[in-house]
Structures are given as structure tokens and as C-alpha cells.
Amino acid sequence: MDDYTLPFWIYLCVLTMFVGGAMKKILASHLSTAPTLVAWLGATVLVERLWAFCLPAVLLLTLLGLTCCIYSATRTGPPSTNLPAHGKAVFITGCDSGFGKAAAKRLDTLGFEVFATVLDLSGEGARELQRTCSPRLTLLQVDITQPQQVQQALLDTKAVLGLRGLWALVNNAGVCVNFGDAELSLMSNFRGCMEVNFFGTLNVTKTLLPLLRQAKGRIITISSPAGDQPFPCLAAYGASKAALNLFIDTLHHELEPWGVRVSTILPAAYKTGQSSNHAYWEQQHKQLLQSLSPALVEDYGEDYINETKELFQSHASQANPDVTPVIDTIVQALLSPQPQVRYFAGPGVGLMYFIHSYCPYSLSNLFLQKLFMKKKLMPRALRKQSGFDLNLSLHNNNNNNEEEEEEKLK
């Protein structure tokens, strides 16, 4: 062992940390592969490097396998007792439909005191909540982009709670108002996404924080993988979620001394809100074409823009209508004695983050393109350029052939 240099030891330590981190990431990624199998695959990499130490391979594998089995047993063992829901008040934004409405109904059933915000108190979603939920549920008409309405919601909530604090805030309200390349996305779309997804959520969170600190409660935010990974044609939405993710991650550190737990839920693709409304997509598409300059429409082509709309509609139609995994995750984050900082809700999200974290960028980017936007058309200007280059190449080849023929005749 005296023959090994300091750089080798450093390399070995770095490799060990990387493999250990990769194993931990895989085991936490909700992949279908058995955790013990993945752990043993990681162990073989360590064995290959540690063989130089002349350590008995069987002993080493036995120790590593035992460690992985113990870790796996602790993960699959009996769950810790959840906290009681009775007497706990939860404030949920965006309950007109989707995750918010389903969460309000589930939490009311479990015995929570729910404050559910809706955009329209006379809308279908609000009427359904009034019809199906207990008297414990309080409906509040709130547009989270309007500070006065958020302040009024605070006063209404305090009037019901009295001297009690607020156990949890579920930041669910969000919007995706654009589709298409960043250059084709209107500035109003970027601002609209930021106003709702970031500034609106920021305002609600800051407004309710005194009540949350009083109860040593929790903040649970429904975000999106688009805030961490560059999904094609979702620049406006992704940028707003990226800002939101950083804000929530910062709160996690800042509120820890206060006893407030902060969690982010990253769901897979589900049918929520306007995602399956074809009339909505057609209206957005028409508005986009009317707002773009003729030069941009000429460069990209109406067929290219139309293909993007159709791909979005296809992706939305294939999304899962059953939002149960997300609602189950919200309940887990609310009642777990030790809630996680981040939750992956739905199939494929853990795998996506693993590829994003550990694979080369080119592979991660290819994975996103194949998973999300399988575009076949190039922008019109690029198609013209490719055709021009091809014609120029054929012309040059013909000229070269003619010159060769002339040389042979001479």
C-alpha cells in the first residue's frame, strides 16, 4: 500500500463519493429496478477500483451488500406514525380545478380545516367543493396576482382561526400560457407566467408566513420539472418555475430555525386546468399568429408553428387524468413527521432527474426532446437554407464531373 500516491487516494475517495451518491440517488428515484440490484451494480464499480489494495473481493462485496440490504430494509420497514390531521388548518391556492380542487376534497375528508382559494366563487369548481365538502372548508375568492385580495384572504383566515396559527400553505395556483420557441413567445406570456407562478406565489407565501411561523407549520409548493430542466418550447413557463424553485429552496434554509418545514412537489404530466381544452389551444394559436411580425412568421413558417400546437395538444391528451399520486404526496408532506425537501410525484420523474443529474448534457437533452417535443419540421428559413446548400453541392458536383470528362477527352 505504500506504493500508492496521494493523487490515487484522492481519486479513490472522489470515486467512492460519486458511486455512493449515485446509489443514493437511484434508490430515491422511485425507479422500478430493485434497490438491491442497483446497489450491487454500484458495488462492482468500487470492487474494480479497490482490487488494487489486495482486499478480499468476497469480503468486500459481503460488507457492501450487507450495508445496502440494511439501507433497503430501513426504507421498506414499517412507516413512522403520521401526525394527526384533526385541528390542523391548511390554506390551498388554485382550487377551481386540477390538483387544488382534488387536494381540498381529500384534506377535508381527512379532517383538516381547509381554506380553499378560487378565482370564481360561482364557478363549477367552487360549487362542487361547497356541495361535497364539510362545513370545515372555507372558500375564498382570491386572484393571487392581486395584493388586495391576498390581504383580504389573510384577514378572513385569521378571523376563522382566532389565536391559532396556520399548519400549512399549499402553493398550487399556476398557469402555462404559452407554447412555442422562446423567440415566438410573446412578452406578455413571459410576464403572465411570472406574475402567477412566481410573484403571486411569493406574495401569498410572504403574507401567510407569520401564521405559519406561529404554528411551526409547513409550506408545500407544487412546481414543475420544467423549472430545473430545459424543456423545449416551455421557456416562459420554465423560467417562472425556475425562479419559484430557487425561492422555495432559499426558504427551506431560512425557515429551518423557525421550525417551518418547506417541501417542493415535482409532478409528472397530468391533465389539469386548460391542458386538455382544444378550444383554449386554438385561441392561443390564433392570438400568437396575429401578434407575431410577418418576418418571424416567414422565417419559422406557419406549418412549423402549427406543428408545435398539435404536439402540445397531443402531449396534453396523453397525460394521466388520475391526479391521485400528487394528492397522496401532498398528504404525505403534510403529515409526515420528517417531510422531504423534494418529492417526485408520478412515474418517470425520478428517472428524468437521475438522467439530468448524472448523464452528459447531450444525453439529457436528447431524452427531453424524445420525451416531450418530437418535432419533425425545421423552421422554414432553415429548410430553404438546407435546400440551397444541397442544390449548390449538386451543382458543384456536376461541374466537377464535367471537368473530369473534359480532361479524359483531352
301-338, pLDDT tens digit by residue? 988 888 888 887 777 777 778 899 999 999 999 999 99
Please check whether residue 391 lies inside any domain of the structure.
no
Please check whether residue 294 lies inside any domain of the structure.
no
Question: Residue 351: which pLDDT band, with cuts at 50, 70 and 90?
Answer: confident
Question: Residue 32: which pLDDT band, with cuts at 50, 70 and 90?
Answer: very low
Mean pLDDT value across the chain: 81
Please check whether residue 376 lies inside any domain of the structure.
no
Q: What is the pLDDT of residue 363?
A: 78
Regarding whether 213 and 147 lie in a shared domain, the answer is yes
Separation in Å, CA 357 to CA 8, 348, 360: 25, 14, 8
Strands 168-171 and 138-141: unpaired
Q: Is the pLDDT of residue 354 over 90?
A: no
Regarding whether 45 and 116 lie in a shared domain, the answer is no
Contacts of 245 (CB under 8 A, 6+ apart): 223, 227, 228, 264
Question: Residue 263: which pLDDT band, with cuts at 50, 70 and 90?
Answer: very high
Q: What are phi and psi of 389, to 5 degrees?
A: -65, -40
Least confident of 95-109, 139-153, 274-288, 311-325: 274-288
Regarding whether 145 and 254 lie in a shared domain, the answer is yes
Regarding whether 95 and 68 lie in a shared domain, the answer is no
Separation in Å, CA 170 to CA 39, 162, 257: 35, 20, 20
Regarding whether 143 and 167 lie in a shared domain, the answer is yes
Please check whether residue 281 lies inside any domain of the structure.
no
Q: What are phi and psi of 146, to 5 degrees?
A: -110, 105
Regarding whether 63 and 10 lie in a shared domain, the answer is yes
Question: Which residue has better confidence, 272 or 350?
Answer: 350
Domain end residue (candidates: 43, 76, 109): 76
Regarding whether 68 and 27 lie in a shared domain, the answer is yes
Regarding whether 66 and 98 lie in a shared domain, the answer is no
Question: Which residue has better confidence, 11 or 283?
Answer: 283
CATH number, domain with residue 348: 3.40.50.720
Please check whether residue 293 lies inside any domain of the structure.
no
Q: Is the pLDDT of residue 173 over 90?
A: yes
Regarding whether 55 and 149 lie in a shared domain, the answer is no
Spatial contact of 240 and 229, defined as CB atoms under 8 Å apart: no
Q: Is the pLDDT of residue 64 over 80?
A: no
Q: What is the pLDDT of residue 319?
A: 76
Spatial contact of 208 and 91, defined as CB atoms under 8 Å apart: yes
Cα–Cα distance measured from residue 77 to residue 79, given in angstroms and rounded to the nearest whole number = 6
Q: What is the pLDDT of residue 76?
A: 42
Residue 226 lies in domain: 89-175+187-269+322-370
Question: Residue 205: which pLDDT band, with cuts at 50, 70 and 90?
Answer: very high
Instruction: Please count the structural domains in the chain.
Output: 2
Please check whether residue 377 lies inside any domain of the structure.
no
Please check whether residue 392 lies inside any domain of the structure.
no
Share of the chain above pLDDT 90, in %: 46
Q: What is the pLDDT of residue 231?
A: 85
Question: Which residue has better confidence, 391 or 103?
Answer: 103
Active-site residue set: 237
Q: Is the pLDDT of residue 29 over 60?
A: no
Domain end residue (candidates: 48, 76, 104): 76
Q: Where are the beta strands (DSSP E) in 253-406?
A: 261-267, 342-345
Cα–Cα distance measured from residue 168 to residue 86, given in angstroms and rounded to the nearest whole number = 13
Spatial contact of 72 and 145, defined as CB atoms under 8 Å apart: no
CA proximity to 140, closest of 119, 169, 160:
119
CA proximity to 171, closest of 264, 256, 108, 269:
264
Average pLDDT over residues 63-74: 57
Regarding whether 153 and 233 lie in a shared domain, the answer is yes
Q: What is the pLDDT of residue 400?
A: 57
Please check whether residue 311 lies inside any domain of the structure.
no
Regarding whether 103 and 34 lie in a shared domain, the answer is no
Dihedral of CA atoms 272, 345, 371, 21 in degrees, nearest 10, equals 160
